[in-house]
Amino acid sequence: MNNSQDKVTLALFAHEIVPEIGHSRAMIETINQLPADKIEKLYIISFEMTSASKIFPKLASKVEFIKVPKLYFGPFLVKMLYFFIASWLVAKTRIPAKAKKIGIGIASLTVDYVNIQFIHREWEYFYFKNFSFPIHKYIYKKLLFFFFKLGENYLYRFKDSTKFSVLSKFETSYLESTFKVPKHNLKLNYSGINLDNFKFSNSSKDKIFMDLKEKYPQLEKIDIERPIYLFVGAFERKGLHLVIEKIQEVPNAQLLVVGSPEAGGNFHFPSSLNITHIKFTKEIQSFYQISDCFIFPTIYEPFGLVLAEAACMGLKIYTTSYKVGASELLDNLDQVHIFDDPNDIVIEPLEEPLPYEEKLKLREQRLERLQSMTWKKTGESFWEVLSLP
């Protein structure tokens, strides 16, 4: 049994630690794979956290949640600046000096270890290139990105002791070239994939569809006997506008959209297309199972867990290699069509739904590539990051 001198104290800083938010869920999964017997204490500094017994079952007795009181006013910029200040005060007054301080991106500038989920300096170019705004919103967004970049410059460039766990090769290269992060402070660490949650149900496709229709009556206009094209994610960044553009070239296509616009955004679905929209679901595995083709022309995606999930479920896939981390794992696989640019995607119409046997065959082939991408491996790699000198 290790004594206390052999154990480490961790402090995790993030706006929310809840499994319903993608980057938060990834951090929860990673922390759960760290060796529990080597962790003396885990401090969580956040606005909100789900019960420790639910999200950190092996560490629950060691978790101390330090709640940062929410300010119920102002835009995200105010929230971000407030958390910078609050997390600095907490680090100075509540966290032991020996603690290894971890952050998701630039949630806090006081951390020593960063799990890179997103780089705003990189995203800014694509954001303003692809979207237009009224002048007041444009000014606010420019100001917001200015502060994002200030935080990234400080934490990634000027604080040269920061260590990084990075989701993809292209982000690793970007940190090296743009922020001059030395190689020895970086570790490529692909996101894990919980394959147990993404496998075929024993129920038939018809039964799964009927069960879903009871919960989501808008599925009534879906014809299960015809191919279903699926999109999942936040509309703007994940490229739903391109999906709609491309799907118009597919005769009689029916498109199933799971997700919502970015915060404060609006999105218009053309009435000329057969589009069914599901805002939110905790049953995404079932939606993968009833679908045939996954279209993901994302503009910027440090990883893209939904791509790996769709691949595990045997769907035909269309995506891009440019600035999409998960595509690094899916190249040269059957029925995975990877284009250099989202605008270049061409969808080959399906004449009928993919047979179960074909989806199963595709799943088995892809699992040979993806089965090593477990959260256990992600956690082990992250532990190595925490051990960097």
Render pLDDT for 99-147 as a digit per residue (tens, 0 to 9).
999 999 999 999 999 999 899 999 999 889 888 889 998 999 999 999 9
How far is the C-alpha of 321 from the C-alpha of 294, rounded, in Å?
15
First to last CA, the chain: 24
The model's pLDDT over 349-372, given as tens digits with 9 standing for 90+, comes to 999 999 999 999 999 999 988 988
For the stretch 309-340, pLDDT in tens is 999 999 999 999 999 999 999 999 999 999 99
- Encode pLDDT of 193-215 as tens digits: 888 889 999 899 999 999 999 99
> How confident is the model at residue 72, as a pLDDT?
66
**Percent helix, strand and coil across the chain, each to the nearest 5:** 45, 20, 40
Model confidence pLDDT, tens digit, residues 23-43: 898 999 999 999 999 999 999
Taking the C-alpha atoms of residue 265 and residue 246, their distance in angstroms, rounded to an integer, is: 22
> 39 in helix, strand or coil?
strand
Does this model's pTM top 0.95? no
Q: What value, to the nearest 5°, has the Cα angle with vertex 21 and ends 218 and 83?
A: 135
Q: Which conformational region is residue 323 in: left (phi greater than 0), alpha (psi within -120 to 50 degrees), or beta? A: left
Q: What is the pLDDT of residue 265?
A: 67
Contacts of 273 (CB under 8 A, 6+ apart): 244, 247, 248, 253, 255
Burial of 158 (0-12, 13-18, 19+ CB in 10 A): exposed
For residue 81, pLDDT beyond 90: yes
Side-chain half-sphere CA neighbours of 373 within 13 A = 26
| Segment 242-299, tens digit of pLDDT | 999 999 999 999 999 999 987 656 788 998 899 999 998 989 999 999 999 999 999 9
What is the percentage of the chain residues whose pLDDT exceeds 70?
Answer: 97
